[in-house]
Amino acid sequence: MKTRSCRMGSWFTLCALLGLSACGGDWSVSKESEAGWLSFNQNLIRSRLKEPSRAEFSHSFVAQAEGSPVVCVCGDVDEKDRHGAVLDHQRYISCGSAVQMLEAEVAPRAMEQTWADVCTAKVQTLQALASER
């Protein structure tokens, strides 16, 4: 299992962009529980959508800033109607219960910068997790 890390300032950038005052806490995740962390964060994002039962996630991965205990999940989510047509496609970032970011809810520059800072270090993709089982 390969691990790459991003800059330490990533978490601080995310906190600053979202205006959070309490970004502390140990949200680290073991390699054995990455699939659970992906699912937990996708459920947090799902709950923010207009059609949560029709959400479809893709390109999801876990990212963690070097030296930081904070683990985030980044990826894409499609919201579909009852006929299967895509209503909305957007990127998301979720770092546990305190931070969820949907592309449609923030300024484009904020999403681009946060994505670059937080989501540049894929720990392992969902597809790689599935292929190991």
96 within some domain: yes
Q: Which 3-state string (H, E, C) describes the chain?
A: CCCCCECCHHHHHHHHHHCCCCCCCCCCCCHHHHHHHHHHHHHHHHCCCCCHHHEEEEEEEEEEECCCCCEEEEEEEEEECCCCCEEEEEEEEECCCCCEEEHHHCCHHHHHHHHHHHCCCEEEEHHHHHHHC
Query: Residue 4: inside a domain, yes or no?
Result: no
The region of weakest confidence among 18-27, 32-41, 78-87, 118-127 is 18-27
- For residue 23, being part of any structural domain is answered with no
Question: What average pLDDT does the segment 56-84 reach?
Answer: 86
Q: How many domains does the structure of the chain reveal?
A: 1
Per the confidence metrics, is the pTM higher than 0.75?
no
10 part of a folded domain: no
Residue 22 lies in a domain: no
106 in a structural domain: yes
Residue 121 lies in a domain: yes
In this prediction, residues 123-130 reach a mean pLDDT of 45
Domain of residue 70 covers 32-132
Task: Indicate whether 13 belongs to any domain.
Answer: no
What pLDDT digit, counting tens, does each position of 98-125 carry? 889 999 999 999 999 989 888 885 554 4
